[in-house]
Structure 1
Amino acid sequence: MSSGTDHEDRFRRVYAADFQPLLAYALRRVAHPEDAADVVAETLLVAWRRREDLPPDGEARLWLYGVARRVLANHHRGGVRRQRLGERLRHRITATMAADPGSEVPERLAVRAALARLGELDREVLMLTVWEGLEPREAASVLRVSPAVVRTRLSRARARLRELVGDDLGPPGHVPGVLAAPAPKEGR
């Protein structure tokens, strides 16, 4: 049986490993950075309260994405602003935004507008696989659907996004890079 200290240590490891990806996940899904801070804070509060239930290390991030997805749904549905974090967290958000290459792509607004025109599940599948770098089976775990549904939705979402944005070839990082299938990860 594990002690409370073991669960606290495990939570600290998960926090250290998954804070930045979780923050990037939230930043890409809200209009204001302070809303992302609220989503991450609430997600980590759930993780802290349920630290004894955290899945194994390889699945903890997927579990956190699932929690964050539900927090975001509540945030969007209710339209209620969450408590703002202190200056330290805002500083981390600024550092993360500056390091996110997606925020430097000139076509970012066109991509966001096109993404907004996709259905909710298609948009989320595309964002999880392209921006968060998840495999279809991992995205399926976050979304609680089958991997086959994710693969079908991903194909359809890419095709629809190409229609909306265009598929002209440009330098690396250009919009078509968003539309291309990611290279398979080794060992999977």
Structure 2
Amino acid sequence: MGDDLSGRFVEIYEHAYRPVLAYALRRCRDPDDAADVVAETFTIAWRRMEEVPAGDEARPWLFGVARNVLANHRRGELRHEQRTAALREHLAASPSLALLPDDGLSEISRVFGGLPEDDRELLALVVWEELDTAQLGQALGLSRNAVRVRLHRARKRFARALAEDGDPRAATERSAW
């Protein structure tokens, strides 16, 4: 971009940044989204500097660009919300969640969440993803023997944490793992 257009962009940016930001802030739920809208608006202006009207007409042109950016942003949010709702429905119907009664799920989830991250990942790969020791080794980059040792220790820690929590299923859970 030539020096003339670069200088013009700086002038437009300095003149219109605050009004465009205010425009976006009034229309976005999250200030981070407003910042994204402003950044995208000025990115488009930079790429299309030859099309930006001169003088006072630049600001309304930028509002039009920001309006289109907001519309795209809202469409993206709507698609995200629809996909999230569909995923929630799918998860709610998942047989994996049907394995435990609702009251037990929250207790076990709490105990499970208190385990070290490595234990949670290992146990989750076994139970939810149904990986055997060879597959675990491949996924984690470990030997089968190392997986067996870690899995044994993770199961013991989980059973101990369940027992400490007073869960009567601790002994049966241990045998199920």
- Bin for the TM-score computed over the shorter chain: 0.3 to 0.5
Q: Which has the larger radius of gyration?
A: 2
Structure number with greater CO (CA < 8 Å, separation at least 6) is 1
